[in-house]
Amino acid sequence: MKKIEVAILGATGTVGQKFVRLLENHPTLVVAELVASERSAGKSYAHAVVWKQETPIPTDVAGIKVKDLSAPLSSRILFSGLDSSVAGEAETAFAAAGHTVISNSSNHRMDAQVPLIIPEINPDHFQLVKKQVGPGAIITNSNCSTMFLAMVLAPLDAKFGVEAVQVTTMQAISGAGYPGVASMDILGNVIPYIGNEEEKLEEEVAKILGRLNDDHVDVHPMTVSAQCNRVAVFDGHMEAVSVRFSQSASVEEITKSLREFRGMPQERSLPTAPAHPVVVMDEMDRPQPARDVWVENGMAAVVGRIRPCNVLDFKMMVLGHNTVRGAAGAAILNAEAYQALGYLS
């Protein structure tokens, strides 16, 4: 089967590099075009990028000439790792030109007719693209911290009904892009503010877990209160989560519900899908970013310390790889799901 050609927007950035790495040897998608700023345009990718990944630049990508945002593209799917300062207008223009834009940027996530997708949870929301004007489409994945919270809440809501959530995040410096946070600001320190992060968590979860209603999503009525912090960890966002349910539950029932959670990507064995989208650890001091961030190749939400809460009903710790399942890996899985459901036929 001929592979679908894809382009990466923002290819030299942190998320763009992760796209390049994760798409190497992909069975159905192949990187054909790379797009970055004007200062990178015309250079080979190897000369334009300051490569910061754990593996070498893929040889079949290293020699591709970088294009700028004004250049016409031929790829059917565009993965966007663009900065939000330019992503909104650029993604709209590319969709109007007939491309399917699968975006990691925040600009269009809350647009009524743009699906905000975690395919284990809401693949039916892909139908919103049929309501978009023009020949192309825009599809988004969530904020990195939203991703892991939603993956954990979805099976719990289906079983017990989620009414309220309190979440405090401890977010890795890689989430700030390269070079990230200055060392003298973050080493030995915690920064208790990440711009717009708390609002994203509080709004996006409700849309993801909401119900499709023709040309929009009726958001979930749960209440979410978020506090977000930047900590001196390289990869891996931790979340301390407390939940109130509408129905009775036990630690054993919660654990069983999370461990049994599967969705469309697992049912169809999509290439990037984790076998277990939520992994529950029994050790009292786990999960830990340094030890558990690569569980299921970085594509799972890892949960531990499930226990009763004195304020709400239950509390737990959640961990996820912020640049894999929280960014590039999520967008790639969305593309696989979109293709598997016949939207690209």
- Catalytic residue set: 144, 237
Distance CA 37, CA 256 (A): 47
- Cα dist from 313 to 163, 209, 293, 341, whole Å: 10, 20, 27, 37
Under DSSP, the state recorded for 316 is: E
162-171 and 223-231: which strand pairing?
A: parallel
Measured CA to CA, the distance from residue 330 to residue 65 in angstroms comes to 26
| b/e code 262-272 from CB counts within 10 Å (16+ = b) | ebbbbeeebeb
Pair 31, 20: CB distance under 8 Å: yes
Residue 279: left if φ>0, alpha if ψ -120 to 50, beta else—which one? beta
Look up residue 33 and give its two tokens: 């075009």
DSSP letter string, 61-87 = HHTPBEE-TTS----SEEEE---HHHH
